[in-house]
Amino acid sequence: MVSSLGSSKSTKVKKKNLALCDRFLLIEEIAKLRKSTKTQRAERILFVVKQKKIKNASSLELSQIAKCSKQFIGKKRTGQKYVKKQVKQNRKLLIEQENKIVEWIRNRYSQKKIQTTPKQIREEIFRRWKITVSGNFHKYLVRRHIDKLVIKIATARQVQRMLVRAEDIQKHLTNLKISVKGKRACVVINGDEIGIQAYCDTRDQCFIIPAEYKDDEIHIAVDRSEPRVSAMIAVTLDSQLLPPFLISKESAIQQQLLQNNVIQNENAIVVNSTSSMMNIDLMLQWVRDVFIKFVKLQRQKYRLQNRYEAVLIVDNMTAHCNKDVKDLLKANSIILLTLPPHSTHFTQLSDVGIFGALKLYYQQNKEGIAQFTLAQIAAHIIDASQKAASLMTIKNSFATCAVLSVVKGEHLETDVNMHAFDEDIQQLQADNTSTAITLTPTGRKRKTAKFGILNS
């Protein structure tokens, strides 16, 4: 008799994730409990899972949404009483231990420019000596070592004025009048790239750095644990959104994209790059696979001539306006119109009205979820861009940037408001009069970039 033990192959069962629609439902339920304890959140989320018969809801995913520990959710599920782990409540450090922490903080910043938060200090102390200190320990530490450490508060970035010439803005208005006025609204398009990275917290934050660096600029940290993704977003004057063009260092897995309702080459195009940023080759791919296809469809839809001129408005980034892109657009009867240098904060509609809303919607979707996969990031960018690129937002953003839509018969045409930037020009003239001409470091050549119609 021959034994058959060990002959059968073990098969690895693929773990299924919580469906995206169910995740959104649970996030909405938790969002309703604004001021609540973790017990209330855990009980509510488990009640919804049971009531709606939600499948594949692991304790880990539920804990991320309910903002509590996996063990806490597990205990609530099984009905066991959750006992908080007790730690040693010694809140004092020896002088030698304090000195080591001070040196650790100083080395992090002086060698790698890494800012240290109060939480990181507490975690490092516990990791080294299993000592738990209070939330205000960093203030005590800085007071005792005021000659070596300093506390700085990081706030959200503020818009800084650049040296924009008033004559450049006037020239831009003239370019709009020449190349945009009278065009059908469906083929007047603005495109720009946005980097998607979730901020850990956009409130004012406290950082501890060496005292000799007290005048350094500090910044609010971002979550570097997720894949960095940038997106090329384009909209038309008649409020159409082109499929987002998403760029990441990682390669997207088709099956994971489909699980998150991301359909390649339909509602988005996901590509990979060494830098996760737009370059010349990717810009050419976007123009060929997204932009030109869209323009041709608009010409067919509205029965326009095959050579009817369209307009692409972009900034002066090298990848956006290189020779190959200019030639490709010109061959397809598309005008490439670039904006004056340093002026996109009030001349480009994406910066004026869309990207801020897009980041806000993306941040709201992420609330309660510890970390996104690349496929989830893609899905949330698509969702946020569709919410941000609403009809009135696009219309008002174009109008703010001097481009208006007017009714001509049964369709929309483009008009230009030549006085849209009057207040900005007055402010620029006042700023430039009171500001020294040299705004760049001595010895550094100032780069002058052409702008306007680049492929005429």
Residues above pLDDT 70, as percent of the chain:
84
Helix 118-129 crosses helix 137-144 at what angle (to 10 degrees)? 90
Q: Sorting pLDDT into bands at 50, 70 and 90, what band is 427?
A: confident
Domain boundary among 78, 108, 126: 78
Q: Which domain holds residue 133?
A: 95-146
**Are residues 41 and 113 located together in one domain of the fold?**
no
Tens digits of residue pLDDT in 82-98: 555 544 445 578 999 99
What is the average pLDDT across 60-72? 85
Q: Which stretch of 284-298, 316-330, 429-443 has the lowest confidence by average pLDDT?
A: 429-443
Per-residue pLDDT at 134 exceeds 70: yes
**Are residues 108 and 230 located together in one domain of the fold?**
no
| pLDDT of res. 414 | 96
Per-residue pLDDT at 251 exceeds 90: no
Pair 358, 197: CB distance under 8 Å: no
164, 243, 224, 72: which is closest to 435 by C-alpha? 164
* CATH code where residue 180 lies: 3.30.420.10
**Are residues 244 and 316 located together in one domain of the fold?**
yes
**Are residues 46 and 177 located together in one domain of the fold?**
no
Helix 59-66 crosses helix 38-52 at what angle (to 10 degrees)? 130
> What is the rounded (10 degree) CA torsion for 336, 337, 341, 347?
-140
Per-residue pLDDT at 202 exceeds 70: no
Cα 425 from Cα 168, distance rounded (Å): 10
Cα 385 from Cα 454, distance rounded (Å): 28
What is the average pLDDT across 17-23? 80
**Are residues 42 and 131 located together in one domain of the fold?**
no
What distances in angstroms separate CA 240 from CA 150, 237, 394, one per listed residue? 50, 7, 9
- CA 138 to chain CA centroid, Å, is 31
Per-residue pLDDT at 3 exceeds 50: no
Per-residue pLDDT at 7 exceeds 80: no
What is the average pLDDT across 61-80? 84
| pLDDT of res. 203 | 61
Q: Which residue has the higher pLDDT, 431 or 322?
A: 322
Q: How many CA atoms lie within 13 A of 187 on its CB side?
A: 32
Instruction: Please provide the average confidence, as pLDDT, over all residues in the chain.
Output: 84
Asked, for residue 382, whether it belongs to a domain, the answer is: yes
Phi, psi of 151 (to 5 degrees): -100, 130
Structure tokens at 94: 């020896």
| pLDDT of res. 22 | 84
- CA 359 to chain CA centroid, Å, is 5
DSSP string, 189-209: EEEEEEEE--BS--S-EEEEE
Q: Sorting pLDDT into bands at 50, 70 and 90, what band is 68?
A: confident
| pLDDT of res. 442 | 43
Asked, for residue 5, whether it belongs to a domain, the answer is: no
Cα 113 from Cα 217, distance rounded (Å): 11
The burial class, CB within 10 Å (0-12 / 13-18 / 19+), for 372 is buried
Domain count, the chain: 3
**For the ranges 74-88, 101-115, 438-452, the one whose mean pLDDT is highest:** 101-115
Per-residue pLDDT at 247 exceeds 70: yes
| pLDDT of res. 447 | 54
What is the average pLDDT across 194-202? 66
| pLDDT of res. 10 | 46
**Are residues 54 and 130 located together in one domain of the fold?**
no
Angle at 291 between CA 285 and CA 295, to 5 degrees: 145
**Are residues 99 and 60 located together in one domain of the fold?**
no
| pLDDT of res. 243 | 96
**Are residues 135 and 27 located together in one domain of the fold?**
no
Structure tokens at 1: 């008799």
Structure tokens at 157: 């970035």
**Are residues 190 and 124 located together in one domain of the fold?**
no
Asked, for residue 400, whether it belongs to a domain, the answer is: yes
Tens digits of residue pLDDT in 357-411: 898 888 888 766 667 888 999 999 999 999 999 999 999 999 999 999 999 999 9
Q: Which residues of 44-58 are buried (b: 16+ CB within 10 A; e: fewer)?
A: bbbebbeeeebeebe
**Are residues 68 and 25 located together in one domain of the fold?**
yes
Say which amino acid occupies 114. I
Give pTM, 2 decimals: 0.64
Judged by DSSP in three states, 241 sits in strand
319, 289, 298, 293: which is closest to 192 by C-alpha? 319
Residues above pLDDT 90, as percent of the chain:
47
Cα 368 from Cα 13, distance rounded (Å): 27
**Are residues 114 and 261 located together in one domain of the fold?**
no
Q: Which residues pair with 297 in a beta bridge?
A: none
Tens digits of residue pLDDT in 150-174: 999 877 655 455 578 889 999 999 9
Q: Measured on CA atoms in the order 24, 30, 34, 37, is the torsion positive or negative?
A: negative
**Are residues 234 and 381 located together in one domain of the fold?**
yes
